[in-house]
Amino acid sequence: MVHAIQAPAKLNRFLAVLGRRADGFHELELVTTVLEGVADLTDTLSGEPSGELALAISGPTGEGLVADESNLVIKAWRLLEEAAKRPLPAALRLEKRIPHGAGLGGGSSDAAAALRLGNRMFELDLPDGELLRMAARLGSDVPLFLLGGTVLGIGRGERVFPLRPVALEPILLVHPGLHVSTPSVYRALQDVGYPFPEALASQPAGTPPPWRNDLTGAALWVCPPLAEVRDALRDTGGEPLLCGSGSCWAARYTTAADRDAAALILRPSHPAWGIWQA
């Protein structure tokens, strides 16, 4: 029997860099929404029991990705085998739609999907707490995908707490096809200067978090062409926000009609860009 798990993208609606820690990582505070329901920004991981563990990757954004032990899906599967104390041989297929290196959490979402898929396929009955601990070992963004919805992240982002749902404004997501290295962006903070370490103030229930990303200046330092996307979104009346460390941008609009009109302007003028409505 084939099992399948959806792996959606994410949007950091608030990202504050509060300082650099003694271990070299940065202390962060984030409010992130998992973009469930955006089909063109959702990977699919499917699998069935087999004689040995194997991963096949396909899909419009799967080119160039490797299916070896460095892949987060395989790493997640190995943690499940470690917990189960036995091999979990399976034929896994990953259909990629989330662009790589865009700041949308595609690899992290795939890893979370692998934890859920293996737990279900082999009836391991691992509790949520144990899956979250495994997720934190895989990467800072992986745990939030196990929770879904809107999530507060602190520390490196790996300590996650569910928040009450806060509706997204009409959003246009634009990916210019650039790849931005996350470690390079964090290193560049030392060149452009750390932003003022201001944590998220308490918000009334149902209030959207501030539209803020403290990595923006560093990302533009590392990859100046990102500014073209920002400016194009501003020209259409949007309020752009860099997604994570880039290279995707999200712009919010007052109405869905304004967002849709912006998409109609940008698609023909920038045919190489990926553009999605959320």
Task: Look at residues 119, 108, 64, 113 and name the one whose alpha carbon lies nearest to residue 93.
Answer: 113
141 is known as an active-site residue: yes
Q: At 30, is the secondary structure helix, strand, or coil?
A: strand
- Give the chain's end-to-end CA distance (angstroms, integer): 33
| Catalytic residue (choose from 43, 110, 141, 214) | 141
Task: Look at residues 109, 199, 202, 208 and name the one whose alpha carbon lies nearest to residue 165.
Answer: 208
| Catalytic residue (choose from 10, 43, 75, 214) | 10
Q: What is the DSSP letter of 167?
A: P
85 is known as an active-site residue: no
CA distances from 131 to 2, 76, 125, 140, 240 (A): 22, 10, 10, 14, 34
Where in the sequence numbering do the catalytic residues fall? 10, 141
